[in-house]
Every structure is written in structure tokens, then in C-alpha cells.
Amino acid sequence: MSSLFHSQSDYERLALLDQKHVWHPFTQMKQYNEESPLIIERGEGIRLFDLEGRSYFDGFSSVWLNVHGHNVPELNEALAAQMQRVAHSTLLGMANVPSIELAAQLAAISPAGLTKVFYSDSGATGVEIALKMAYQYWYNNGMPGKKSFITMKDAYHGDTIGAVSVGAIPLYHEVFRPLLFPSHTVPYPNGYRHPDGPDGAMAETLSALESLLQEHGAGIAALIVEPVVQGASGIIVMPEGCLSAIAGLCRRYDVLLIADEVATGFGRTGRMFACGHENVAPDLMIVGKGLTGGYLPVAATLATERVYNAFYADYEEQKTFFHGHSFTGNPLGCAVALESLRLMRERSIVESVDAKGHFVAQRLSPLLDRPHIGDIRYKGLMLGIELVANKRTKEPYHWNERIGVLVARRARDLGMLTRPLGNVIVFIPPLVSTDSELADMADILSEAVIDVTERGWRP
Ligand SMILES: *Cc1c(COP(=O)(O)O)cnc(C)c1O
């Protein structure tokens, strides 16, 4: 394959340039530069290959994006076909073909009522749009006082300043606090960490939310939530019924519900959207990551007619939504997204996810007897393994031990890539992974965890 044409000196040249010029996201560069970088050269199916031709399972879907695997002929062809027509033209005051087709399809597969599609280019920008829409919705309706937001403890909604303002992961967000607008926070129900388990966690969330709404509802524009699975906080799965109860409270207190489906959308949790588990119909919904099958940066914020109509007026009324991005509605990305959705239908991908998730959990279940496995939780193909220093007391590993990083490092040596969230090992494989591939990846995961937590493996 093409990697044979890369010599050792190619690797060294690129590694040097990487170190010299690339500033990597969410990465302490001093630490990164102490090791030889992993440089990916190509992908095939659910595997990635580095410059030296070593193969790795993509055990985290290249950060939770990938649906159909890499280098997929159908997606490549859709991209090439669109490229022959036009790579980009703007949606500012005009339209292009693939973005229209895609908007209609998104409206058709989304929870009831979400008929309007506003495009952007990342999850974070999609969140910004939802926040601004929610705020201006009330403003345009003559209620500018409804301007604050409710978020959930340990929420992650992206890294732009608005998204960080409704973010609640202290490690990422605290330093920026002086730049942010304040938000209200209610607990996300974490059954493993709550003294009264999932039921207690859910009761606590709902009662905190209800008191907050009673006291401050008149000043609140919207609640934003990662539905059913809170991802970046460590793959926390909501108890059943919690999302619909949250939605009910928002309705009752006249607060918009924003569902951030950036991670959970497009089949990841076993439904097209996680809201579908409980038939929840949000007022605004953000999608990204898997929208293009993980190929290209396209995101979208979907809105109901009710939200849209608050902006629909004569120009002089000044109710326009003044927001947009250079690449809003990019035709290449939209064409690939359309083909990705077609493949999902043709291959019944969403329908296969529940069974695959159960299969993986079953394969990993012997781990539950090991001394440092606190919890294994999952919904569909979104799975987290929480490692603990002490299983009985659930005492976490000290962050300084970087236990998750060590396990991911060991998994890489064993042939699988993933990236931890603190002490939680993440397993989010491409949705097309076969049972035999899932079994191989789960076995690598088990071995890596045991090597690091019991056998003292260190790089
Ligand atoms: C990844 C993620 C985002 C941010 O998306 P980007 O494309 O990285 O900006 C927002 N919300 C959730 C729930 C996510 O998982």
C-alpha cells in the first residue's frame, strides 16, 4: 500500500515538523513532545494506519465521529461527484442543492416538530446558535428578561465561549470563568456516584430542577442537556424516564428545551437520536459529529416552527437572526451527509446498534470481578469503564496517576486507539463494527485495563 513509500526519514521529518509547528487540541504540548508522535497516514474500514504501516482499531471513532468506517467508497464517490459541481457556495441569502435535500431529510428523521435547519460547521457553533436563538426567541416575543440558561453539572457543549458558559467541567472551564455569562446548574443523575443509586440520583436532579424553575423560571430562556448520555463527563447514562421528566418540567415552566445530540445523534445510542428513547421533542436540537458519517465538518441546529416564527416578520421589525458562518451549508459536507444517511437506511445501521452494545457489554462483563473496575455503563455503542483505586469505597484514582492515559497507551500498543476521560476508559467504535471486530476490540480493552491496574504495566 501507499505507506510502503514512506521511509523512516519521512516519519522523522514529519515528526519534527509536527513538533515545530502543530499545536494540538486538549494536549499539553510539553508532554506530547516528550514522546514520538503517532502519525496517521490512512484509514480502511474501522482501522487506521500510521506512517510506518502499523494498524489500529479506531476504538473511539476518531473522537466519536465515525459511523461507516474510513475510506468508504460510497462516501468518497458522493464527495467526488459534488466536487465536480461546486465545492462551496454560501447560504447567505441564497441556496444550494445538497443543503436543501439534507435539511428536508433531517427534518424527516428528527423528533416531532423540528422542521427548520440552521447549518454550521461544528458542535460548538451549533450550540452557540441554539443559545442565541433561545435568547432571541424570548426577546422577539417581548420577554427580554428570559435570558439565562440552565445546564447540568459536568456538562460539555463545546469550546467556544458561549458553549463554555453552559459547560460545567471545572478542569476545562474554570480558568475562563471571568469571560463567561453565568448559568444555573442542576445535577446530572449519576447513579454510580449517588449514595442512593440511580433512583436517588434522578429524584435529586428533578427536585433541584423544579425548585430552580419555581424560583427563577421567569428569567430563564432554556435548559440545555446531553440527552440520555452525558459524554465528556465520563459516559454517564441517565436513569430511564429522567429525560422525559426534565422535558415535562421545562414545558410546565415555559422554558425552552435544547437537546445537544452532537455526541448521541445518528444512531450512537441505539436510536436515531437519544431523545427517541423517551419520545422527547425538544424545541432546539444540535447535531454534528456523526452527521457526515464523521467525514467533514458539518453541524446543524434544528428548531420548531414556534421558535422559527418568533423571527419571521417584516424586515423593519428587526427580528432577523443575525448569525452565520463562512461555510454554513457547505455542499461537499451536505452531499456526504446525504449519502451517509442513505447508507444508514440501506444497511439498517441504527437498528443494529442496541444488539452490538449488549454484545460488547457481555464480552467485557468478566472485568466487573476485577479489583479496580468500579462501573461499566453504556447505551448503544457509547461505553465507559470507570476505574477506581478502591472498589468498595469507590475512591477515584488520583488524577496525577493518569490511569486512563496509561490504559489508552497500553491499548494502543495492543492495536487499538482510544482516548480516556479522566479515570473513565471510553469505547465508542464505528457503528459498522462487526461482532468479531467488537470482540477483538473488547479483548484489547480488557487486557489493557488489567495490565495497567493489576500488573503494573508502564510504558
Ligand atoms: C463534541 C461535542 C460538542 C462539540 O462539538 P465540536 O464539533 O467539537 O465543536 C458539543 N456537545 C457535545 C455533547 C459533544 O460531545
* CATH number of the domain where residue 420 is located: 3.90.1150.10
Q: Where are the beta strands (DSSP E) in 123-255?
A: 148-152, 184-186, 220-225, 229-230, 236-237
Q: What number is the average pLDDT over the span 296-301?
A: 98
Predicted local distance difference test score (pLDDT) of residue 4: 53
Residue 153 lies in a domain: yes
Same domain, 366 and 289: no
Domain co-membership, 152 together with 264: yes
Same domain, 180 and 62: no
pLDDT digits 0-9 by tens, 263-284:
999 999 999 999 999 999 999 9
Residue found by looking up cell 442513505 in the block? 342
Atom of ligand 1 nearest to the CA of 226: 13
- Residue 97 and residue 65 share a domain: no
Q: Which ligand 1 atom is nearest residue 297's CA?
A: 7
The domain containing residue 133 runs over which residues?
Answer: 76-346
* Alpha carbon of 6 to ligand 1 centroid (Å): 34
- What ligand 1 atom has the least distance to the C-alpha of 163? 10
Return d(Cα 61, Cα 64) in angstroms, integer: 5
d(CA 115, CA 92): 19
CA 142 to CA 151: how far, in whole Å?
A: 24
**Do 332 and 359 belong to one domain?**
no
CATH of the domain at 166: 3.40.640.10
| Residue pLDDT, tens place only, 2-37 | 445 567 789 999 999 999 999 999 999 999 999 999
Ligand 1 atom with the shortest distance to the CA of 299: 7
Centre of ligand 1 to C-alpha 281, Å, is 20
| Assigned domain for 119 exists | yes
For residue 353, the CA-to-ligand 1 centroid distance in Å is 21
User: Is any atom of ligand 1 closer than 6 Å to the C-beta of 188?
Assistant: no
Rounded CA separation 252/255 (Å): 8
Question: Is the same domain home to 49 and 163?
Answer: no
d(CA 430, CA 268): 9
Boundary residue ending a domain (328, 346, 364):
346
* Mean pLDDT, rounded, of the chain: 96
Same domain, 86 and 121: yes
For 41-72, the pLDDT digits (tens) are: 999 999 999 999 999 999 999 999 999 999 99
Q: In the prediction, which pLDDT does 9 show? A: 83
Do both 37 and 154 map to the same domain? Answer: no
Q: If you measure from the C-alpha of residue 451 to the centroid of ligand 1, how many angstroms do you get, rounded to a whole number?
A: 31
Q: What is the pLDDT of residue 171?
A: 83
**Chain-centre distance for alpha carbon 366:** 28
CA angle centred on 215, ends 210 and 219, rounded to 5°: 105
117 CA to centre of ligand 1 in angstroms: 18
Same domain, 57 and 188: no
Q: Is position 216 within any domain?
A: yes
Q: Is residue 459 part of a domain?
A: no
pLDDT tens by residue, 199-212: 999 999 999 999 99
- Cα(233) to centroid of ligand 1, in Å? 12
Backbone angles phi, psi at 120, to 5 degrees: -150, -160
Question: Rounded to the nearest whole angstrom, what is the distance from the C-alpha of residue 309 to the centroid of ligand 1?
Answer: 27
* Secondary structure letter of residue 394 according to DSSP: T
Domain stop point among 346, 372, 398: 346
Q: Is the pLDDT of residue 403 over 60?
A: yes
Can you give the pLDDT at residue 1? 43
Mean pLDDT of 215-221: 98
pLDDT confidence band for 169 (50 / 70 / 90): confident
DSSP tag of 397: P
Question: Do 303 and 283 touch, CB atoms closer than 8 A?
Answer: yes
| Predicted pLDDT at 277 | 98
Distance separating alpha carbons of residues 57 and 404, to the nearest angstrom = 18
Question: What distance separates the 2 farthest-apart alpha carbons in the chain?
Answer: 70
Nearest to 186 by CA among 220, 228, 154: 154
Is the same domain home to 395 and 296? no
Domain tally, the chain: 2
- CA 85 / ligand 1 centre spacing (Å): 30
123 touches ligand 1 (CB under 6 Å) = yes
SS3 339: helix
Instruction: Centre a 10 Å sphere on the Cβ of residue 427 and count the other Cβ atoms it contains.
Output: 27
Please tell me if the CB atom of residue 260 comes closer than 6 angstroms to any atom of ligand 1. Answer: yes
- Structure-derived torsion over alpha carbons of residues 7, 13, 17, 19, reported in degrees to the nearest 10: 90
pLDDT, position 289: 98
The one-letter amino acid at 314: D
Q: Does the Cβ of 157 fall within 6 Å of ligand 1?
A: yes
* Ligand 1 close to Cβ of residue 128 (< 6 A): no
| Backbone torsions φ then ψ of 187, nearest 5 degrees | -65, 145
Q: Is 231 in the pocket of ligand 1 (CB under 6 A)?
A: yes
- pLDDT the model gives residue 417: 98
Which atom, in ligand 1's list, is nearest to the CA of 158? 4
Is 91 found in the same domain as 228? yes
226 lines ligand 1 (CB under 6 A): yes
Looking up cell 427517541, which residue turns up? 276
Q: Do 386 and 370 meet the contact criterion of CB atoms below 8 Å apart?
A: no
